[in-house]
Amino acid sequence: MSTDDTDNNESKIDYTINFDPNARAVKPIEEHPLFHLAKEKEPSCDRQENALTGIYKTTMDDESFFMKDISPRRAILGSWFREGSLGFIFGRRGAGKTWFAWDMAISISKGINYGPWKCEMPRKTLYVDGEMPLRSMQERLKLLNPNPTGNLFIMSRERLMDEARMLLNLCESCWQEALLTYCIEEKIKVVFLDNLSSLCWGMKENEADSWEQVLSWLLMLRQSGIAIIIVHHANRDGNEMRGTSRREDAADWVIKVSPNFKFAKIDKGTAFTTTFTKNREDNGDHEESMDWTFITEDGKTNVNWKRTDLVEQVYEMIKEGAEYCSDIAEGFNRSKMEICRCAKKLQDMGFIKKEGQRYVLAEYNVVEITPPK
């Protein structure tokens, strides 16, 4: 074929894409001009053809999209935690995040309410632990769950190492594929990963690209209708998760666990405050902050909770001697702006006054008074 013939043939290719706005039937992909254009401009490639097929199969106009019947994701807890959700629980070491995660897993597996949040049905739940000694895990589970139902499954990195001589690393594709297959075959609906650092060896926490090798697997779990909760450490100031902020991009919700200074002297148990720092399903039924106590007595851990009133907490802390906004903010892992707003309310109500940069109790307010909510 001559050069002229080649040029003539190339000039006959129609690069114009004409769409029929009145058409409702989906044409076969081979009949679309863009399909042939892609084949003629570049070498044939199965991945490219599959991608193009997928685009035309799933893209629709707004009228068709409005008419499409889309099933809602069923709620697991309240309305903020749903099937296929990705959530994080984070906090400093010793703050109580594992207590919180374990008790949540037990409630979901049994189908019982957790705190103020309704749980409508039991779901098969898998708890994957990466750092707690097996005996300690068993003791804690007995304290929290004296009447097991067989619906909560426990996978321990320590047991894998001791009995199977295998090192669990969720950065490796073999473990990702195996765990996904297990969850699908066993009809697991909720997976807890505790914690990110101990289960994902070799991942550079501060590098966003390193997170991608785990994120793609998490998205496959979500696509399979499996909800994931990841337990992770906080950064040095305790206000954010350690490492790259890109982790939160794909998350539906994030809960921060902070020590509760009012119960710092609990001997057998722990106390903390949970706060939502992100919630995509924010329709008003979740509680921004909750106070929790886990107190062990007579071989059982009793869990109690109540809604947190930050104004009341600030007042209590000032009564105990805290004077400066920065100190109070650090104690609660809150911003100075939040504390200043609470202090202003207390000033307006006459419970405290400000002397320079110091907060002090009002002179006439020397008895035990709880500020109105």
Alpha helix stretches (DSSP H) within the chain: 3-11, 33-41, 46-58, 62-67, 97-110, 134-144, 157-164, 173-185, 196-199, 208-223, 310-319, 325-332, 336-349
**Contact yes or no for 258/329 (Cβ under 8 A):** no
d(CA 231, CA 217): 17
Q: What is the mean pLDDT of residues 136-162?
A: 94
pTM over 0.85: no
pLDDT, tens digit, 9 for 90 and up, residues 167-180: 999 999 999 999 99
Judged against a pLDDT cut of 60, whether residue 26 lies above it is answered with no
Q: What is the mean pLDDT of residues 45-70?
A: 87
> How many helices and strands in the chain, by DSSP H and E?
13, 13
The amino acid that residue 319 corresponds to is K
Domains in the chain (CATH in brackets) are: 32-70 (no CATH), 75-308 (3.40.50.300), 311-361 (1.10.10.10)
d(CA 27, CA 11): 25
154 versus 297: which is more confidently predicted?
Answer: 154
Q: How far is CA 308 from CA 211, 271, 332, 350, in A?
A: 34, 13, 12, 21
Burial (CB count within 10 angstroms: exposed 0-12, middle 13-18, buried 19+), residue 371 = middle
List the end-to-end C-alpha distance of the chain, in Å, as a whole number: 87
pLDDT band at 284 (very low <50, low <70, confident <90, very high): low
